[in-house]
Amino acid sequence: MSERDGFSGGFLLGTLVGGVVGGVIGAIAASRQKEANQGLNFNSENAKNAEDDESIESARRSLEDKISQLNFAIDDVRQQLGGVKNEQ
């Protein structure tokens, strides 16, 4: 039984120590990765903003075209229905 008690205590201690060491290493790696990405993000943010403005403008034009098509279709249906009402 004493071997089993030693195993359980060692297992728990190893788990705790491994978790702490892994957490510290992960935190250090994440902070270094974040610092490296901040330099890249500054340059890419300007390009991204320009692309966003262009895509927004393109989407706006596309929506205006679709609205125009819908208005034309609505006017066409009104004319057709108006002609049906006049015939009756």
**Domain-wise residue ranges, the chain:** 1-41, 47-87
- Which pLDDT tens digits describe the chain residue by residue (88 residues)? 456 667 888 888 888 998 898 888 988 888 888 777 766 555 566 667 777 888 888 899 999 999 999 999 999 998 888 876 655 5
3-class SS letters over the chain: CHHHHHHHHHHHHHHHHHHHHHHHHHHHHHHHHHHHHHHHHHHHHHHHHHHHHHHHHHHHHHHHHHHHHHHHHHHHHHHHHHHHHHHC
- pTM of the shown model: 0.39
Euclidean distance between CA atoms 52 and 46, whole angstroms: 10
